[in-house]
Amino acid sequence: MEDNLVLSSVHIGANSRAHIGQSTVTSEFHYYLPQSTCSDLTDLVLVSDEDGDLDVPRRSTEHKVITLSHTMATPLNNVGTQLWSASLLMADYILSYKEMFHDAIVVELGSGCGFIGTVAASCVSHFFCTDTGTSVLRLCHQNLVQNNVTNNVSVHELDWFNCEKDLQDSSSSLCSSGMEEGDRYKWNHSELELLRKTSIILASDVIYDNELTDAFISTLVYLSTVIMESTPLIIISMEKRINFTLSDLAPSSPCYEYFCSSLAQSYEASNEMKITFDVTPLSTDFPQLFKYERVKELEIWKIKVKKT
């Protein structure tokens, strides 16, 4: 991957503070909890007052703030230490459809700084933040500690190029050898048992390189074999990045298109199980609780895994 720097704009307006001698900055993400949430927009009952005007639900006064450490511009191979707009869209979705996540065991792929786990902590039974490389995992863990959400949110190594090996029980090796920092993010027996009960897989802004997309889909296929739920739900948010390519002489989104065509295929899982993905793009008209630009290129999809 090339060394050009990329910078997310999400921290703009987030009261970011730099710290002398540290490579990270700290930003604050303020939001008001929605007064009530609905599991589906069809559940929303519109009430009129005596003049026939719509009685619009008022903004809740329950103010929350997430304090997040993250870096500024990075090379493409270290983008996990930044926060990306698609994760704010995902956070809005989770808070708007809280009931869907109630008591769920959730695993997130490519969690980066841990923003979504921090937001979802109050809604779920357990949330696994996963990513690869000690620096991202450490930052993710620090952010969970900073926001006091370590009870039901944990951080684990899950490299899409190595998922089968990463998802092995490391309990015995951790007891017998000295603990290194990377060991803290390995999976133990009880965590793997809990992972098998996952009903929702999340990922935000993970579609930006075709080789990574292949590995990401292989991980979805592998996870589907590990998870006991017959039709686990995947929710993916992403920014459809548009390039002007010399080959097409037109604007296009090659990584997005590659992902769409890859999801349309059927996959053979190791135990002769066939996996297919049933993709539904979702409307993004749910409330916006965080401050970011909700451009039309920000998308969120619901994907049902079918095992046959």
Among 38, 212, 269, 279, binds ligand SAM (CB under 6 A): 212
Q: Tokens 């969120």 identify what position?
A: 300
Q: Does 131 bind ligand SAM (CB under 6 A)?
A: yes
Distance separating alpha carbons of residues 89 and 298, to the nearest angstrom: 8
Chain centre distance of CA 16: 22
Collapsed DSSP state (helix, strand, coil) of residue 29: strand
Give, as ranges, the residues between 226 and 245 that touch ligand SAM (CB under 6 A). none
Q: Does 166 bind ligand SAM (CB under 6 A)?
A: no
Q: Are 14 and 38 in contact (CB under 8 A)?
A: no
The CB-of-10 to ligand SAM minimum distance in angstroms stands at: 8
Q: Are 236 and 223 in contact (CB under 8 A)?
A: no
Q: Does 255 bind ligand SAM (CB under 6 A)?
A: no
Q: Does 27 bind ligand SAM (CB under 6 A)?
A: no
Q: Does 71 bind ligand SAM (CB under 6 A)?
A: no
| Nearer residue to ligand SAM within complex by CB, 57 or 258 | 258
Residue closest to ligand SAM, measured at CB: 80
Among 33, 104, 215, 233, binds ligand SAM (CB under 6 A): 215
Which residues in 71-99 are b (16+ Cβ under 10 Å) and which e? Answer: beebeeebbbbbbbbbbbbbbbbbbbbbe
| Nearer residue to ligand SAM within complex by CB, 60 or 297 | 297
| Nearer residue to ligand SAM within complex by CB, 34 or 110 | 110
Among 31, 100, 107, 112, binds ligand SAM (CB under 6 A): 112
Instruction: Count the alpha carbons within 13 Å of 119 in the hemisphere toward its beta carbon.
Output: 30
Q: Does 80 bind ligand SAM (CB under 6 A)?
A: yes
> CB count, 10 Å around CB of 258?
15
| Nearer residue to ligand SAM within complex by CB, 106 or 206 | 206
Torsions phi, psi of 140, nearest 5? Answer: -60, -50
| Nearer residue to ligand SAM within complex by CB, 44 or 295 | 295
Name, in order, each residue with C-beta under 8 angstroms of 284's C-beta and a sequence gap of 6 or more: 89, 294, 298, 299, 300
Distance separating alpha carbons of residues 204 and 116, to the nearest angstrom: 9
The CB-of-206 to ligand SAM minimum distance in angstroms stands at: 5
Q: Which residues in this chain contact ligand SAM in the complex, by CB under 6 A? A: 79-80, 83-84, 86-87, 110-112, 131-132, 136, 159-161, 204-206, 212, 215
